Amino acid sequence: MKLMLAMALVLSSMAARAAELQVIAGGGFAGPLNLLAAQFEASSGHKVVLRYGTAPELIDMARTTPFDFAVTPAEVFKDADAAAKLPPGPMATIARVGLGVAVPAGAPKPDISTPDAFKKALLSARSVATLPASAAGAQVMKLFEELGVTAELKPKLVAATGPANLVESLIAKKAELGIFLINVLTANGLDVVGPVPAALNREVTYVAGVASDARQAEIAKAFLAFLQSPTAKAVIKARGLTPS
């Protein structure tokens, strides 16, 4: 009887400690983060609630909604109001990833091996998809400016609303070419042509931090430590990003 009572007390204590960790995250990091959140839940007993968004959406989330933890493109917390929700000091760098090009599965792959060939491929395509309202999309638009093709591409640009929508648009052949984070383009229904030429390529860096007013600060710190562990780094690498 005493043993049963002790066990009941232990289980009750564990249930009381279980909590929901509120996380805001960049959509381009969803591939590894979904897997890592599930692993953390299994090992900790806590629930990880993920809210994904583009950079503008994440800035708004950080400004206006409570959260415990963030893992986002570095650009998000360059916004002063968003940065005010975190303690002073640098955030932890989790991963980085560059831009790539993809086509619908089975479609011809253009030559993008040099900057000139890449520019020719863009100008020759009847339609080009990206996600302008995002940290990676902003880099793509800067790339178009650097190549001097912004005006030519404007009428044939297919602007996706999120990473999944970008992939869906390419699969549905609403665009001939897709340019975005290469890990996002590594998806069923697409063929990756390759990375943007090294002389032109740009990276998005994902950083993480615990909110100053986090309700689950200790759990958030444990989640951050987990994201920096060898186990997490292996998952991040397997999903096409470079862990830090």
* pLDDT in the model for residue 68: 98
Reported as a single tens digit per residue, the pLDDT across 119-162 is: 999 999 999 999 999 999 999 999 999 999 999 999 999 999 99
CA distance 45 to 125: 49
* pLDDT in the model for residue 9: 37
Reported as a single tens digit per residue, the pLDDT across 49-74 is: 999 999 999 999 999 999 999 999 99
**192-224 burial: b if 16+ Cβ within 10 Å, else e:** bbebbbeebeeebbbbbbbbeebebeebbebbb
Q: What percent of the chain has pLDDT over 90?
A: 93
CB of 54 closer than 8 Å to CB of 100: no
Check whether 203 has a pLDDT greater than 50.
yes
Q: What is the pTM of this model?
A: 0.88
Neighbours of 34 (CB within 10 A): 15
* pLDDT in the model for residue 18: 84
**What domains, with CATH codes, occur in the chain?**
2-95+205-243 (3.40.190.10), 98-203 (3.40.190.10)
Q: What percent of the chain has pLDDT over 70?
A: 93
Instruction: Name the band, by pLDDT with cuts 50, 70 and 90, for residue 11.
Output: very low
